[in-house]
Amino acid sequence: MSETKVFLLPDLGEGLTEAELVNWLVAVGDEIRVDQPIAEVETAKSMVEVPSPYAGTVAVLHGEPGQTLDVGKPLISVTPIGAKSLGEPVDTSAPVVEPLETAAETYREEEKAGSGNVLIGYGTPGGHGVARRTRARKQPVVEPVETGAVATRTPVIEPVEITSAEKTADDLLLLRTRVPGKLGAVISPLVRRMARDHGVDLGGLQGSGASGLIMRKDVEAAIAPAPAVARPSLVEPVETRRSVIAPDETRRGETDSRTGLGITARTPVRGVRKAVAANMSRSRSEIPEATVWVDVDATALVEMRAALKKADPHNTPGLLAFIARFVTAGLKKYPELNTRIVTTEDAAGGESQEIVAFDGVNLGFAAQTDRGLMVPSVRNADKMSARQLDAEIRRLTAVVREGKATPSELGSGTFTLNNYGVFGVDGSAAIINHPEVGILGVGRIIDKPWVVNGELTVRKVTELTLTFDHRVCDGGTAGGFLRYVADAIESPGSVLADM
């Protein structure tokens, strides 16, 4: 048996179950060390480098740039120095039948192996490429199975023997009944927890992962079976899969049946665009939103910032930082907009909803990047000054544009501020960033005619637009919050003096 080690794409966490392979950083035959970056992958959250938990010679690269890989699928095969190499390339299209304990332990070792930073925010513990056992395991029992005149030997999976102190809810979900010829290992605590919470019997599932391992998508399918969707077979050659999503050259001559027009390209919805599409669709389908807006005279704010910049050209906050400060103050005054709707299950098995309030504000802000729209959040923004907010907004903007933002930086917001004025537009009925309950948009600041003390004059005017979840508050609260922010922009000195 070959000593080549196969490193599986690790559990990404945060509900992420796949990643697009962007670029290989090594080639077959290269010698690599532990924690050396081997590939760049793009998830719905960020672009990251994946380090190897093994040292040795690269034997097989499982995938090509542009291919989407599922968590738990082979990423790279490494032959340790001095070990016997593979006699032929690994065929990843066919599952390798191995005992349940071996398959499950292999994945556990991959997750525990030496890399400390497999994906941003989700490292694997250790650092030596060795997974320590936490409990003893029994060898799989093999019993003969009669099939006509020929007797074959099929692995029969026995329950894992554990001590009474180890019989936690998650551990008990690893128990298996006799299912000849089927491997039912669970490779992630997230999968086990999901199955437990929804009452899914893991012993009755057919895993789609390597060696029959049960993946998150298998449990999701058991919870709510999805309609059949035609998609490329996982065992097709890479060339065939690539042709299904190839751009222009393979689409020339194809005609759209509805419009009669020629099709120039088909672009797969994946990565950030896929995540944004799913989140926006969920927001529109679940949140009964309403929108209010107001024109605001921002002349005083613009003049105040100009005076500060003249006194200190290198340490003056931007206008967005001042508005962010006003927003956090407004959310303290109207905390209903800094909440979240949570659906829970009551004792009778029915569903109920509750509004969860937070002790603090994590202020998200929309940032346009080459990878699409990202919404990083300034944590504990309500405790920051305008200068501190400005510095953090600039830092996070640079991080997301480099594709280095962590899941916590992208998924922890409680309210969003959207400055679409930078695109030269005045207003927008924005979609709430689910699961938040409000988003405030700021249009461009332009010269407009304005009445001041009964006289017509030219002022710096912008439009504020608030979209809110009507389940958490009514128009009075939304209007009060919007008016508070508008008044702060029109009279920034008096408001800042009270902060």
Listing DSSP states for 431-481 in one string gives PP-TT-SEEEEE---EEEEEEETTEEEEEEEEEEEEEEETTT--HHHHHHH
Residue 313 burial (C-beta neighbours within 10 Å; 0-12, 13-18, 19+): exposed
Cβ(23)–Cβ(60) below 8 Å: no
Could you give the dihedral angle defined by the CA atoms of residues 20, 26, 31 and 36, in that order, rounded to the nearest 10 degrees? -60
| Residue 16 pLDDT | 65
What whole-number distance in Å separates Cα of residue 274 and Cα of residue 162?
42
Could you give the dihedral angle defined by the CA atoms of residues 357, 361, 362 and 366, in that order, rounded to the nearest 10 degrees? 100
Paired with 153 in beta bridges are: 144
17's CB contacts (< 8 A; 6+ apart) are 70, 71, 215, 216, 217
Cβ(405)–Cβ(378) below 8 Å: no
47's CB contacts (< 8 A; 6+ apart) are 22, 40, 41, 371, 403, 404
| Residue 336 pLDDT | 97
Strand extents, DSSP E, 30-93:
31-32, 37-42, 47-51, 56-61, 68-70, 74-79
Please tell me the chain's helix, strand, coil percentages from 3-state DSSP, rounded to the nearest 5: 30, 25, 45
* Structural class in CATH, domain 5-222: mainly beta
469's CB contacts (< 8 A; 6+ apart) are 287, 288, 289, 341, 432, 437, 438
| Residue 189 pLDDT | 56
Token representation of residue 265 = 């390209």
Neighbours of 460 (CB within 10 A): 18
Per the annotation, the verdict on 470 as an active-site residue is yes
What whole-number distance in Å separates Cα of residue 431 and Cα of residue 416?
10
| Residue 112 pLDDT | 45
Cβ(222)–Cβ(205) below 8 Å: yes
- Between the CA of residue 347 and those of 151, 299, 351, 352, what are the distances in Å? 51, 56, 9, 10
CA angle 147, 153, 154 (to 5 degrees): 90
Paired with 339 in beta bridges are: 357
Domains of the chain: which residue ranges?
Answer: 5-222, 274-497
| Residue 493 pLDDT | 84
Smallest Cα–Cα separation from 307: which of 292, 317, 297? 317
| Residue 126 pLDDT | 40
DSSP reduced 3-state for 38:
strand
Token representation of residue 216 = 């998150």
Catalogue the long-range contacts made by 220-228 (C-beta closer than 8 Å, 24 or more residues apart): 220/194, 222/195, 222/198, 223/194, 223/198
Neighbours of 217 (CB within 10 A): 17
What is the pLDDT tens value at each position of the chain, 499 positions in all?
A: 458 889 988 865 555 677 888 889 999 999 999 888 898 887 766 667 788 888 999 999 998 888 888 888 899 999 987 665 444 454 544 444 444 444 445 444 444 444 444 443 333 334 333 333 344 444 444 444 444 433 444 444 344 443 444 344 333 333 333 333 333 344 555 677 677 777 777 767 777 776 567 777 777 788 765 454 444 433 344 333 343 444 444 455 789 888 989 999 888 887 777 877 888 899 989 999 999 999 999 999 999 999 999 999 888 999 999 999 999 999 999 999 999 999 887 777 788 899 999 999 999 999 888 877 889 999 999 999 999 999 999 999 999 998 888 888 888 999 999 999 989 999 888 999 999 999 999 999 999 999 999 999 999 999 999 999 999 999 999 999 999 999 999 999 877 766 6
Is omega for the bond preceding 435 within 30 degrees of 0, making it cis? yes
Pick the CATH number of 274-497 from 1.10.300.10, 3.30.70.120, 3.30.559.10, 1.10.3720.10: 3.30.559.10
Q: Which of 128, 198, 434, 470 is flagged as catalytic?
A: 470
